[in-house]
A and B are shown apart, each in its own frame.
Chain A
Amino acid sequence: MFWDKQLECIEPEKLREIQLQRLKEIVKRVYEKVPFYRKKFDEAGIKPEDIRSLEDIKYLPFTSKNDMREAYPFGLFAVPLSEIVEIHTSSGTTGKPVVAGYTVKDIALWAEVMARCLIMVGATKDDIVQIAYGYGLFTGGLGFHYGAQKIGATVVPASAGNTKRQIELMKDFGTTFIACTPSYALYLAEYAKEEMGIDLSTLKLRIGSFGAEMWTEEMRREIERRMGIKAYNVYGLTEIIGPGVAHECSAQQGLHVWEDHFYPEIIDPETGEPLPEGQEGELVLTSLTREGMPMIRFRTRDITTLHREKCACGRTLARIERIKGRSDDMIKVRGVMIFPYQIEQAILEVQGVEPHYQIILTRPHYLDEVEVQVEMSKEIFSDDVKTIETLRKRLEKKIEQTVGVRVKVTLVEPKSIPRSEGKAKRIIDKRNLK
C-alpha cells in the first residue's frame, strides 16, 4: 500500500533533482538564519553557492550531538520562537537534553512521513492504533499520533507504562495496531500471559511498529509469534523529526528512508569520509525540508548500511539495514569492540532461553571481564544439574563465537533483571576506567 505512490516509486534521477534543489535551499536558509551554521560554514570555508551537486554535500561540516548541547536550548532554530508551535527533547542521559522545535509545517511534515510509514505496512482508517510510546517531550508518542490521525485510524493514546491497562485496552477496544519499543512488546506479551492469563496472539492485533531501541531478527520473530502480528521496524530521532525518518515495508528487507525529506549518507565513523553504497558505517542525515530546526549532516552515531536497489515492494527510495549498533553503546572489552545486540543474538540462537539478559563489565585485575546474566525460564529449567550446566556452557560458547571475547554466563532467577517500560538498560559497566 502507498500513501504517495508517485513519490515513493519516483525515478532515481527525478529524486536527485528534488534533493539537490532542496539541499541548495536549506543550506542557503541556515546560512542566513542560523548563526551557528554560518560560523561553522565560514570556518570550513564553504559558501551556500559552493553546493552545485549532491556530492558536494561532503564539503559541509557535520553537526554533532555535542553541537546541539552547546546550542541549548534554541540555538539551532531557524525561525523566531513565535513560529515554533511544539518543542520536544531527547532523553539527555549525559548533560543537557537535545531540543527540537517544530513549526506548523514541520508538524504537517511529521504527520505526512508517519502516515507513509503506517500505510506502507498495511494500516488503514479501520485500524485501532494503540500507541504505547511515551507521550510528552519524547517524540515517540506524538509522532505516531499525528501519523495515525492523518490516515484516519482510531488512535488510542495509551502512552508508555501501566501494563495491565494496556492489555485491557487491547482486549476491550480490539486494538489491531500496536506501537511501542520492542522490549516493551515482549514485556506486554509476557505480562499478559503470566499475570492475566491472556494470550495476546488470540486478540485482534495484526500489525506492530517497534523502534526507539536496538533489536534483532530473533526478537522480531519472538514478538510476531507471541502477539500474532507482523512486526516492523521504525527509525527516527528527535534531532531530525522523531519517528518516521525510515520504516520497513511489507518485504521486511530494510527500512525505506523518506529521502525526499531526509537525505542519508553513510560515513566512516573514524575519518568522516563518505562510504560507497553497501558498506557499513555511521548514518548521517540532513533534513531537506524542515523549517523550525533544519539539520545539516547530523551524525546519528547509528551504524547501518545503505542500499539503493529497487525494493520488492516497488519503492525506489533507499533502504537502511536494521541499526546494528550505536557508537555510544559500543563497548570495548580487552580491546575488542562489541555491541550488545551481538550478545542478544547469541542468546536467542541457543533455543528456549527468554530474551532477558544483562551485561556486566568489571575489571578485577587490570583485565576486563564480561558477565552475561540470563534469566532462567520455566521452559528450560530442569531439576538436573548437568542439563543446566550444559545449557550455560552452550550460551558461553555461542556468545564467545559471536563476539570473539570470552564471557561468563550466569543463570539468574526469573524477573531478577529489571524490566523496562522505556528503553532497556542492557549494560552495567562497573569498570573504573578513571
Chain B
Amino acid sequence: MKIKQISVFLENKKGRLYEALKAIADHGINIRALSIADTSEFGILRMIVPQPEEAKKVLEEAGFTTKITNVVAVGIKDEPGGLAGVLKHLYDADINVEYIYAFVEKSGEKAVVVLRTNNLDKTIDLLQEKGVHLLSWEEIKEL
C-alpha cells in the first residue's frame, strides 16, 4: 500500500520549478498530486506521478537532485471531519506526521490525502485495521 513519491531539490532561483516541471512534461509524464515545502533558501518539490522511476531519470538528466520516497495515499470522503478522523487514529497510536498534502479527485466525491509519517508500516497496518481506504498504486494511476 506504499505509494512512490518523487522529491526534487530546488534552489530558490528563478525558473527552477518551471524547468523541473517542463522536464517531466516534455517526457509526457502527468502529475497526479504535487506539493512544495519551502524555506527562504530552498524548496522540496514532492510529486505523485504514474512513472516515478522515469521521472527520476529525466529530472536527473536535467541536473536535479531527486529521491524516491514511500508515502501512503488515503481516500477520504470529501466532507468536514474526514481528515481529522484519520489523524485521530494516528495521534492515538503515537505516530507523527512528517508532512501531508491533499487533493480532490476528478469526480469530486473523494479527497485523496498523501501522508508521510515516522513509521509508515505501522501507519498502514493501523489505518487498514480501522477500515480507512488506502489507495493502491493502480488506483493512483487511474486518478
Question: Mask for A364-392, Cβ within 8 A of B = 1, else 0?
Answer: 00000000000011100111110011001
Pairwise interchain contact A376-B65, C-beta atoms closer than 8 A: yes
**B 7-26 contacts with A by CB, 8 A:** 7, 9-11, 16
Residues on A with C-beta less than 8 A from B42 are 376, 388, 411
Among the stretches A171-179, A331-339, A412-420, the one at the interface with B is A412-420
Residues on B with C-beta less than 8 A from A410 are 41
Assign chain A's interface to a size class: 10 to 19
Residues on B with C-beta less than 8 A from A414 are 63-65
Bound-complex Cα distance A389 to B9 (A): 13
Bound-complex Cα distance A411 to B39 (A): 12
Bound-complex Cα distance A410 to B9 (A): 13
Pairwise interchain contact B39-A385, C-beta atoms closer than 8 A: yes
Pairwise interchain contact A384-B98, C-beta atoms closer than 8 A: yes
Question: Mask for B29-72, Cβ within 8 A of A = 1, else 0?
Answer: 00000000101011010100000000000000001111101000
Assign chain B's interface to a size class: 20 to 34
Task: Name the one of A383, A389, A412 contacting B67, with C-beta atoms under 8 angstroms.
Answer: A383
Pairwise interchain contact B39-A413, C-beta atoms closer than 8 A: no
Known A-B contacts A376-B9, A413-B9, A413-B16; A381 and B65 likewise in contact (beta carbons under 8 Å) = yes
CB distance from B132 to the nearest CB of A (A): 23
Bound-complex Cα distance A428 to B66 (A): 28
Pairwise interchain contact A383-B64, C-beta atoms closer than 8 A: no
Task: Name the one of B7, B63, B98 contacting A413, with C-beta atoms under 8 angstroms.
Answer: B63
Nearest CB to that of B42 among chain A residues? A411
Bound-complex Cα distance A392 to B41 (A): 10
Bound-complex Cα distance A411 to B42 (A): 8
Of residues A388, A389, A392, which shows the largest number of chain B Cβ atoms within 10 Å of its Cβ? Answer: A388
Binding site for B on A (CB under 8 A): 376-378, 381-385, 388-389, 392, 410-416
20 A-B pairs (CB sep. < 8 Å): A377-B65, A378-B66, A378-B67, A381-B7, A381-B9, A381-B67, A383-B5, A383-B46, A384-B44, A384-B98, A385-B39, A389-B39, A410-B41, A411-B41, A411-B42, A412-B11, A413-B10, A413-B64, A413-B65, A414-B63
Binding site for A on B (CB under 8 A): 5, 7, 9-11, 16, 37, 39, 41-42, 44, 46, 63-67, 69, 98-99, 116
